[in-house]
Amino acid sequence: MSHITSDDVRKVAKLARLKLDQEEVEKYTNQLEQILGYFEHLEDVDTSNVDPTTRAVEVVNRVRTDTVKTSQFREDLLDQAPHREGDFYRVPKILSD
């Protein structure tokens, strides 16, 4: 049974801004198909009496106080970008013509 098609892979790649050639699309379709196959084993477990959860640890309301701290990493964070222009990050043209 097929979980994922090459069209799905192309769509996900496009949304993730990844450029894949045809060979890669086939390769990842196969690999993802296998991975999803492993997950299928989970369906063997009877979860009819288990509430759905989105996390493993049951912790609620983890909050912090509203205090300001200035980061010492500003320069590093700016320098790390592929392109910096003064105090700004510089990014390529957003819309194609």
Task: Note the residues at the interface with another protein (CB under 8 A).
Answer: 11, 14-15, 17, 54-55, 57, 59-71, 73-74, 77-78, 85-95
Dist CA 5 CA 36 (whole Å): 12
Minimum Å gap between C-beta 40 and another protein is: 20
Dist CA 91 CA 79 (whole Å): 14
φ, ψ at 85 (rounded to 5°) = -135, 100
Minimum Å gap between C-beta 82 and another protein is: 12
Minimum Å gap between C-beta 37 and another protein is: 21
